[in-house]
Amino acid sequence: MQTIRITTTQNIDIDYEVAGLGERIVAYIIDLAMFGVIIISTLIAIGSVGGMGRGSSGIGIGIVFIIYAVLFVFYDLICELAMNGQSVGKKIMKIKVISLDGARPRLGQYLLRWLFRIIDFFPGTLNLCGLICVAVSDKSQRVGDMVAGTTLIRTAPRTKMQNIAFKPAEDNYQPAFPEAARLSEQDVELINEVINNYIKSGNSMLVYNMAQRIKDLLNVTPPAEMNNMLFLQTIIKDYSHIIAQADVL
C-alpha cells in the first residue's frame, strides 16, 4: 500500500495512504455517469412535453445544454469546496483532496487544481497526461496537484473499531481538561491521526511530540500517572463531550 509522509504545520509527520489510480478513475467515472443520468433524464422530460411545439422544445434543450455545460465545467471545483475535498464519486470511493501540509486545501489550491484540469484531462490526449502523472509521480499527483501542492488520500479507517482513539462520553461525564474546548476540529483530527499512526507504526515519538504541543497550546499539566497516549485520548474525549453538550444546548 503506497503511503506518503506529510509534515503538518505543527511539525508532526503523518503517514497517509495515497488514493490509487484505479480509485481515481472509478470516482471520475461515477461523476460522469451521474451527469449522464441527469442529462438523459432531463432530455426525456423535455421530450415528454415537446408536444407543445417544436420551437419551445428546441429552446428548452438549448437552455438545458447551457446549464449542463456550466455545471460540468465547475462541478469539481464546487464540490471540493463544499464537500471538503470530495466530489460525489470521490466520496463513494472514500478518497479526498488534502494539502501537502496535512491541512484542508485553501481556495487558491482548489482553484489551481481545477484550472489545470485543462492540461490533465485534455480530450485530445484522452486524459493521458493526468493518468501518466498519477502513475509515475511519487505522491500520485497529477499536474494540477503538483502545482497546487495537493494530493488525494484514502479516507477509509486504517484501524479496527477496537483501536479507535476514543469512545463517546457518558452524559454525566466530567471533562478532565475543559480547555479542550479551545481546540479546533482540525486539531482534533490531527490528534486522532497521530494516535492511529502510532497504533500502525509503533512510533512513540509521534505521541510524545503531539502531547507536548497540546500541553503547550492549552497550557495544561496532566496528572503524573497519565501517560501521553492517555492524555491525547482524554483530550479527544473531552472535546467530543464538550462539543456534543454545546450542540444540545
Q: Which are the contacts of 50, defined by CB distance < 8 A and separation ≥ 6? A: 57
Question: pLDDT tens, position by position, for the chain (249 residues)?
Answer: 577 777 665 556 667 788 888 999 999 999 999 988 888 887 777 776 655 455 555 676 778 788 888 888 899 999 999 998 999 999 999 899 988 877 788 999 999 999 998 888 877 666 788 888 988 888 889 999 999 999 998 876 454 434 444 444 566 788 999 999 999 888 888 888 888 888 777 778 888 999 999 999 999 999 988 999 999 999 998 998 888 877 555
Give the domain range for residue 84: 3-154
The number of beta carbons lying within 10 Å of the beta carbon of residue 19 is: 23
Distances 164 to 8, 155, 199, 233 between C-alpha atoms, Å: 22, 15, 10, 10
Q: Which helix (H) or strand (E) holds 14?
A: strand 13-17
> Do 148 and 184 fall within a single domain?
no
φ/ψ (deg, to 5) at 71: -65, -40
End position of a domain, from candidates 105, 124, 154: 154
- Domain co-membership, 101 together with 218: no
- Using only C-alpha atoms, what is the Rg of the chain? 23
Number of domains in the chain: 2
Q: Model's pTM, two decimal places?
A: 0.64
Are 221 and 130 in the same domain?
Answer: no
- d(C-alpha 166, C-alpha 235), whole Å: 9
> Are 175 and 149 in the same domain?
no
Q: Are 21 and 137 within one domain? A: yes
State how far the Cα of 177 lies from the Cα of 231, in Å rounded to an integer: 9
